[in-house]
Amino acid sequence: MTRWPEPALVSKLEDPSLNTVDMTVNIGPQHPATHGVFRMVLTIDGEMVVDCEPYIGYLHRGLEKLSENNDYRQAMGYWDRTDYLAGMACEAAYCYAVEKISGVTVPERAEYIRVIMAELSRINSHFMFLGAFGADVGSFGTSFVYAWRERERIYDFFEEVAGDRMFPTYIKIGGVAMDLPDNFESRVRWLLGSINQGLEDLDGLLTGNEIFVERCRDLAPMTAERAIALGITGPVLRATGIPWDIRKAEPYGVYDRLKFDIPVGRQGDIFDRFFVRLSEMYQSTRIIEQCLDQMPGGLVLNPDLPKTLRIDNAEAYFRYEGTKGEYGVYAMARGGNKPYRMKLRSPSFCNLSALREMVVGTYVADAIIILGSLDIVLGEVDK
């Protein structure tokens, strides 16, 4: 027989002071887990996230307006500071856009050099992701050591070729700044051997680790339809199973001469995002090896390029497969030696649009690795 609660118990249950309330947790903008100057405010019920509000703009530096107030060559220095983990790739995207509106051609040898530098930049950026993500998941600090070892070797190589580690402005309109050193091929092949060893170390440490897999599998999955609706590109999109890569879909440079696969995931969860990036690094080493085998001789900079580049009425949008996704550069010329309008389509900014729906309904600890799985870089988001 069902009994009603005692009167004293009823009054206690109705006591408002015993009701739970949501709590707000502020993460960032200066916090190691945000991987940059980024802030997200979580509303939590116990350990469960019920809302997430991201805040950006702390690193805004006026890339587009600065580019419009400098001539086409001077503006180069601002672009490699967007995705600063892959500076040469950003330089190449900007140059391709300017070359598209100006009609400037690039020597074949320079195209191969651009691809090699861009793929090394991709590897460098993904190493940063693997190292930091292993630490985010917890108890995998060794991943940072493995990743940093290889990144330092890549940066040393960039310094040998271009004279600077992070912001070399090596890619130029019409080619590259200077030819390669004499030991270039042997140096790159040695570097690829080191990179492959680093990948095997990280692969063995993370991919087959039961704790890591259990922590990441089935967390924050995203469907292909939803990813497309949000404008998501790059590894986060390919993790949903869509083999979309601009290097294949709309080849630029010499990518149409190279053989490589497009790694994809199955359900778009955190583990798939990790595994797609890891697999992409193996494909990048494969691309670089083919470039070394096919590398022609000749010039590395268009000899007919005028000292001052002036472009009449023209506009173009160039889509580049950056490390985070579609790094799009819109360039408009209206005469003179400066662009009339420059616009960056930031892949990290678009990918961040999925953060709220990925985080809501998960635990606070999960929110940290969900953000990490997007692999954002704030210099590119805020511009």
| Per-position DSSP letters for 284-315, written without gaps between them | HHHHHHHHHHH---S-SB-TT--SS----SEE
Please tell me the distance from the alpha carbon of residue 206 to that of residue 209, in angstroms, as a whole number: 5
Q: Nearest 5°: phi and psi at 52?
A: -145, 130
Please tell me the distance from the alpha carbon of residue 147 to that of residue 132, in angstroms, as a whole number: 9
Considering only CA atoms, which of 328, 322, 373 is closest in space to residue 86?
322
pLDDT of residue 76: 86
pLDDT of residue 208: 84
17 CB contacts (<8 Å, ≥6 apart)?
none
pLDDT of residue 1: 47
Considering only CA atoms, which of 79, 110, 113 is closest in space to residue 330?
79
Please tell me the distance from the alpha carbon of residue 352 to that of residue 233, in angstroms, as a whole number: 11
Please tell me the distance from the alpha carbon of residue 37 to that of residue 50, in angstroms, as a whole number: 23
pLDDT of residue 10: 47
Instruction: Please report, for the chain, the start and end positions of each structural domain, with discontinuous segments joined by +.
Output: 63-351
Low-confidence ranges of the chain (pLDDT < 70): 1-19, 139-140
* Residue type at position 291: C
Q: Encoding tokens for residue 347?
A: 């892949």
> Strand, helix or coil at 42?
strand
Cβ proximity of 172 and 301 under 8 Å: yes
Fold of 63-351: Cytochrome-c3 Hydrogenase; chain B (1.10.645)
> Strand, helix or coil at 18?
helix
pTM > 0.75: yes or no: yes
pLDDT of residue 35: 80
Report the sign of the C-alpha dihedral through residues 245, 285, 352, 344, in that order.
negative
Q: Encoding tokens for residue 378?
A: 């704030």
- Residues present in the chain in total: 383
Report the sign of the C-alpha dihedral through residues 94, 259, 85, 189, in that order.
negative
